[in-house]
Structure 1
Amino acid sequence: MTKEDEKSTTRDPQAPKGRPTPKRSEAEANRKTRVTVPKDRKEASKQARDRMRTEREKQRTALLNGDESALPPRDKGKVRRYVRDFIDSRWAAAEFFLPYAVVVLVLSITKIGYLQLLSTYLFMVFFIVVILDFVRIGLSLRKGLAAKFPNEDTRGALMYGLMRTLQMRRLRLPKPMVKRGERP
């Protein structure tokens, strides 16, 4: 952009223009030079795929490193950062749900009747423990969010945190930045 174009974009709309109106041919030429669209449709789709690939790679490295500037929109912001740190600093029963479900599944497919019954009871007990743990974590997270961010929009942050507890700590993305026991 030239200095003249910058002036025209930042000027007051009620103020006089201060320059002559460009000829139609000049305006069309300016518009055509600004947009660089390939003439070949295949080339355009290839460029779009390359742009998307680099964007996804940037987001993936940000998820692995915790770089706040390149995170996807669902993980950006200081509220989400606080929720991640809050969840990562605590033990939760829900993060052991997947390994526990595998054990229960193996017990349930055995031909021994009492082991099948035991696996059903164990699954129900663990399910109740996970729900109670969700309630405990949810209440304390809601309280912490209200104290730390009284005037900010925290919509969706509670569900974001509860879904994060379902993932095993080592598989969470963005990677945990706090150790267990540290408080955010």
Structure 2
Amino acid sequence: MFRRRSEDSAASSAVTMTKEDERAPRDPQAPKGRPTPKRSEAEAHRKTRVSVPKDRKEAARQARERMRAEREKQRTALLEGDERALPPRDKGPVKRFVRDFIDSRWAAAEFFLPYAVVVLVLSITKIGYLQVLSTLLFMVFFVVVILDFVRIGFALRKALAERFPNGDTRGAVMYGIMRTLQMRRLRLPKPMVKRGERP
């Protein structure tokens, strides 16, 4: 008698638990009906994931190699004008237009380095009037460069407004003026237009 009652109570409790399990919401993180992956598949998936080396020296070495490869890629892009790998400060159609605008024109500032060498040589001579002349030449050239900056800035701002009326051109004029300070053959990215050519 007691055995039959205990079996009936166990069966009823099992039915109750089964119904409660069916009503309970299923965990979305544990989907049903998906076969367990084989060990070989799991190991292959684990090998394809990026593994971080446990050794800090090895991790630092790999980071240095990645940075070196990225720098070499950017240097090649600067020499060849490849837009895809240029640094962020040189990317985009606005910066490309500014470079072409500057490279197609003469600018007084690009002769600053050779001019400064001449002035320096004159200033270290022991001849008095040459020292005074070097100072005057430097001041005259400085004024000419400032006036040329103003001329180029206004012309570049107008050209940007015409070419990119709704584009973001912040910092583009200063980017162009800084490029004029470099000699044409030393500019990076390399000039892609000739002097006098329309950008």
TMscore range, shorter length: 0.7 to 0.9
Aligned residue identity for 1:173 = L
Deviation of 1:34 after TM superposition, in Å, equals 3.8
Partner of 1:116: 131
Aligned-pair identity in percent equals 83
Instruction: Please say if 1:21 is aligned against 2:29.
Output: yes
- Paired residue for 1:162, among 177, 192, 197? 177
SS in 2 for 1:130: helix
Partner of 1:150: 165
**TM-score normalised over the length of structure 1:** 0.83
Aligned residue identity for 2:198 = R
Aligned residue identity for 1:132 = L
Deviation of 1:32 after TM superposition, in Å, equals 10
Moved more, 44-53 or 30-39: 30-39
Instruction: Please say if 1:73 is aligned against 2:88.
Output: yes
Partner of 2:79: 64
Count of residue pairs the alignment pairs up: 163
Deviation of 1:33 after TM superposition, in Å, equals 7.5
Instruction: Please say if 1:141 is aligned against 2:162.
Output: no
Structure 2 alignment gaps of length 5 or more: 1-25, 32-42
Instruction: Please say if 1:175 is aligned against 2:183.
Output: no
Deviation of 1:22 after TM superposition, in Å, equals 3.9
Q: Deviations over 1:24-55 (max 9, x none)?
A: xxxxx999984410011000000000000000
Q: Deviations over 1:54-113 (max 9, x none)?
A: 000000000000000000000000000000000000000000001000100010011111
Partner of 1:99: 114
Q: Deviations over 1:106-131 (max 9, x none)?
A: 10011111000000000000000101
CA distance in 1, matches of 2:51, 2:113: 49
CA distance in 2, matches of 1:77, 1:22: 46
CA distance in 1, matches of 2:27, 2:99: 54
- Structure 1 ranges of 4+ moved more than 2 A: 29-35
Aligned residue identity for 1:177 = M
Structure with bigger gyration radius? 2
Deviation of 1:21 after TM superposition, in Å, equals 1.1
CA distance in 1, matches of 2:30, 2:103: 60
Q: Deviations over 1:137-179 (max 9, x none)?
A: 1000000000000101100100000000000000000000000
Structure 1 alignment gaps of length 5 or more: 1-17, 24-28
**TM-score normalised over the length of structure 2:** 0.77
